């Protein structure tokens, strides 16, 4: 298993993995399947030097991905990034998300990132547990802000200050 920066040739499988998450209404905010064409500009906005998309490969097959997204679009927030993780259905529960999140935390200082955020539906217990394991704290709770098939869903905002996490690791 290896983690690498995504390449343009990976976009179709990135979209396929994302689309597989839509029907469950657990992780994706989209309600309809998206196209590869609709994600080209999103892909192009990501840079391996500042806001990469990482893919994890097993036997030369992409089985999951993580993206760094700039937060709030203002210069004062340039050291803060939102991370999103999606895993192919047949590989969920096998530690792939853990490997990707670990890699994201490791790479963040080199990318100029000091704070990581996650925006997670409150009913997405596996993702909340994953981020908890890495020391992310609950920084916000937005009740009933998403409509998923006529069901109002809550959003949890989790965050991690990387310098504080590093200090904590050294003191333990």
- Cα 116 to Cα 82: distance, rounded to the nearest angstrom: 6
Do 57 and 5 contact (CB within 8 A), yes or no? Answer: no
Please count the other Cβ atoms lying within 10 Å of the Cβ belonging to residue 157.
16
φ, ψ (nearest 5 deg) of residue 59? 55, 45
In the prediction, which pLDDT does 163 show? 86
2-171 architecture in CATH? 3-Layer(aba) Sandwich (3.40)
Per-residue pLDDT for 165 more than 90? Answer: no
User: pLDDT tens digits, residue range 17-64?
Assistant: 999 998 888 888 878 999 999 999 999 999 999 999 999 999 999 999
Q: What is the pTM of this model?
A: 0.92
User: pLDDT tens digits, residue range 107-143?
Assistant: 999 999 999 999 999 999 999 999 999 999 999 999 9
* Pairing between β-strand 61-70 and β-strand 53-58 as defined by DSSP bridges: antiparallel
User: pLDDT tens digits, residue range 70-84?
Assistant: 999 899 999 999 999
- Cα 110 to Cα 125: distance, rounded to the nearest angstrom: 30
Q: Provide the angle, in degrees to the nearest 10, between the axes of the packed helices 125-133 and 96-107.
A: 40
In the prediction, which pLDDT does 129 show? 97
DSSP string, 40-83: HHHHHT--TTTS-EEEEEETTEEEEEEEEEESTTSGGGTTEEEE
């Amino acid at each position: 298993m290896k983690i690498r920066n995504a390449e343009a040739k990976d976009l179709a499988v990135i979209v396929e993995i994302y689309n597989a998450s839509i029907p469950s209404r657990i992780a994706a905010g989209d309600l309809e399947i998206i196209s590869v064409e609709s994600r080209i500009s999103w892909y192009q906005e990501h840079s391996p030097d500042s806001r990469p998309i990482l893919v994890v490969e097993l036997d030369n097959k992409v089985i999951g991905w993580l993206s760094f997204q700039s937060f709030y679009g203002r210069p004062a927030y340039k050291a803060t990034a939102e991370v999103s993780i999606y895993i192919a259905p047949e590989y969920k529960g096998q530690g792939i998300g853990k490997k990707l999140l670990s890699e994201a935390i490791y790479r963040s200082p080199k990318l100029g990132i000091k704070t990581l955020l996650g925006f997670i539906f409150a009913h997405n217990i596996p993702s909340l547990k994953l981020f908890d394991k890495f020391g992310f704290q609950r920084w916000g709770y937005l009740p009933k802000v998403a409509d998923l098939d006529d069901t109002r869903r809550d959003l949890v905002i989790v965050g991690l200050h990387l310098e504080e996490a590093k200090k904590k690791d050294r003191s333990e």
